[in-house]
């Protein structure tokens, strides 16, 4: 048991909160509907870690009751997540699983701009995913890894006909050949299958080879050559794109951070895509700063610049400022293309030993480049205050403002206020 304690040990946390809420547009719809509600949030997390093994599990859900029309009484936003990993000096094994059902009219804080469009619709989205990783020969002359993953995304009670249920399976493998301390070669292969219910199905095959070179203790460069074969099928019609792609990378460690660059040309279902990025990271006295600039174009779209920002710093004692900007190119199985932008800015400040305030602003935007994707934008601003009344209990209150707009629909917004109590129980043997 001492080893477990030294390397992380065991931790169990149970959290609960009860809030009373009022919103003047509960579903963030054009035809606003106001309502009072009571919401209970429950959370459970467990983690256990030793030097060679780690396990974590978390479960969260909400319970809502309202006497007014427009708010469905019952369970909201349930989620489950687990991971297990075991490592040795030369091998590794890990397995992960995830489940979540979320209302589309709420703010989803972990959307991926490379895969998730800004969706403004009623209804529910349910995501289930899992993955298995096996690796051998770490830091050995001969080694490799194999990853198998799968996911499903289902929509319920939505109005947008383009929101299709999707199942994705993929497998990827890498064989590493370490010739010496400076040069490592690799052979790669990948397969993926995307099945859209009533949409476009897609099968992708990828085979490649590459090499990484440690030029000096601070500079690493890499070059990869891949062959792609992509088959898209819809309504009995099949289309194929194939060809070679190349990716060149470089990474330089600097006294106060790092500098990296990437240039690639690859094959997608619409043809060839070219992209580049240049990133610089700084280690600051009280935080970190990262900047990225790049761009992308394809056979069907013009060049579009892409930017990135990550900033986290302690502004004053007890105050933390964080900002993140992430732009990414998105292409669906049907070939529709878009640029997604995610921007978040947050600030938290301890007011005293027993109280604190936090505020955040989030911006999501989808800019359609081709196909049937609609431009959509969403803003969410919230402020929250907490005052501890004992070691575990706290009084909470806050305000949230949301605004959304999209092509072909009127703007809509909502104001929500809440107050209540929360508590967290932690057990660490």
DSSP structure string for 64-108: EE-SSTTS--EEEEEEEEEEEEEE-SS-EEEEEEEEEEEETTS--
Distances (CA, A) of 95 to 85, 99, 112, 132, 187: 6, 14, 21, 5, 23
Whether pLDDT at 415 is above 80: yes
- 5 has a pLDDT exceeding 70: no
Q: What is the pLDDT of residue 73?
A: 82
* Residue 401 in this model has a pLDDT that exceeds 80: yes
Domain 88-388: what homologous superfamily?
TonB-dependent receptor, beta-barrel domain (2.40.170.20)
CB-CB contact of 271 with 370 (8 Å) = no
Residue 186's pLDDT band (cuts 50, 70, 90): very high
CA distances from 64 to 35, 72, 120, 174, 310 (A): 12, 7, 22, 47, 35
pLDDT at position 8: 65
Q: Whole-angstrom Cα distance, residue 131 to residue 148? A: 6
Residue 6: its pLDDT value, please? 41
Q: Which of 41-50, 379-388, 406-415 has the lowest mean pLDDT?
A: 406-415
Q: What is the pLDDT of residues 162-180, one digit of tens each?
A: 888 999 999 999 999 999 9
Question: Taking residues 182-201, what's their average pLDDT?
Answer: 94
Distance of CA 149 to the CA centre of its chain: 16
Of the segments 17-21, 115-119, 198-202, which one has the largest average pLDDT value? 17-21
Reported as a single tens digit per residue, the pLDDT across 335-372 is 788 899 999 999 999 999 999 999 999 999 988 887 77
Nearest one of 204, 197, 191 to 231, comparing CA atoms: 204
pLDDT in tens, 98-118: 999 998 888 777 777 777 888
- Supply the mean pLDDT for the chain: 91
Please state the pTM of the whole predicted model. Answer: 0.89
**Which of 65-74, 212-221, 275-284 has the least mean pLDDT?**
65-74
């Amino acid at each position: 048991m001492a080893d477990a304690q030294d390397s992380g040990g065991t931790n169990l946390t149970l959290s609960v909160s009860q809030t009373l809420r009022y919103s003047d547009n509960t579903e963030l719809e054009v035809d606003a509907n106001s309502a009072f509600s009571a919401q209970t949030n429950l959370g459970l997390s467990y983690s256990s870690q030793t030097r060679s093994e780690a396990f974590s599990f978390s479960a969260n859900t909400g319970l809502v009751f309202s006497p007014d029309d427009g708010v469905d009484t019952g369970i909201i936003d349930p989620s489950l997540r687990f991971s297990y990993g075991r490592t040795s000096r030369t091998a590794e094994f890990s397995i992960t699983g995830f489940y979540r059902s979320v209302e589309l009219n709420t703010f989803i804080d972990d959307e991926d701009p490379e895969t998730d469009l800004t969706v403004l619709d009623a209804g529910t989205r349910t995501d289930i995913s899992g993955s298995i990783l096996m690796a051998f020969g770490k830091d050995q002359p001969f080694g490799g890894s194999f990853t198998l993953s799968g996911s499903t995304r289902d929509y319920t009670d939505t109005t947008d006909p383009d929101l299709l249920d999707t199942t994705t399976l993929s497998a990827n493998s890498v064989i590493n050949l370490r010739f010496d301390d400076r040069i490592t070669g690799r052979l790669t292969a990948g397969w993926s299958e995307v099945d859209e219910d009533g949409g476009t199905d897609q099968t992708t095959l990828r085979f490649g080879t590459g090499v990484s070179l440690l030029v000096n203790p601070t500079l690493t460069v890499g070059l990869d050559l891949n062959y792609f074969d992509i088959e898209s099928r819809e309504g009995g019609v099949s289309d194929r794109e194939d060809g070679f792609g190349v990716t060149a990378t470089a990474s330089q460690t600097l006294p106060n951070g790092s500098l990296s660059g990437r240039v690639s040309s690859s094959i997608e279902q619409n043809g060839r895509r070219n992209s580049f990025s240049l990133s610089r990271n700084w280690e600051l006295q009280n935080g970190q700063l990262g900047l990225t600039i790049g761009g992308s174009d394809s056979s069907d779209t013009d060049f579009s610049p892409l930017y990135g920002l990550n900033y986290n710093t302690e502004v004053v004692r007890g105050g933390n400022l964080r900002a993140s900007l992430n732009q990414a190119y998105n292409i669906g199985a049907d070939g529709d293309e878009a640029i997604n932008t995610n921007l978040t800015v947050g600030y938290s400040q301890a007011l005293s030993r027993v109280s604190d305030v936090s505020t955040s602003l989030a911006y999501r935007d989808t800019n359609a480049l081709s196909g049937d994707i609609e431009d959509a934008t969403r803003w969410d601003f919230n402020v929250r205050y907490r005052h501890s009344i004992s070691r575990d209990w706290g009084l909470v209150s806050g305000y949230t403002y949301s605004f959304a707009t999209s092509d072909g629909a009127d703007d809509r917004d909502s104001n929500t206020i809440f107050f209540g109590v929360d508590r967290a129980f932690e057990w660490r043997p």
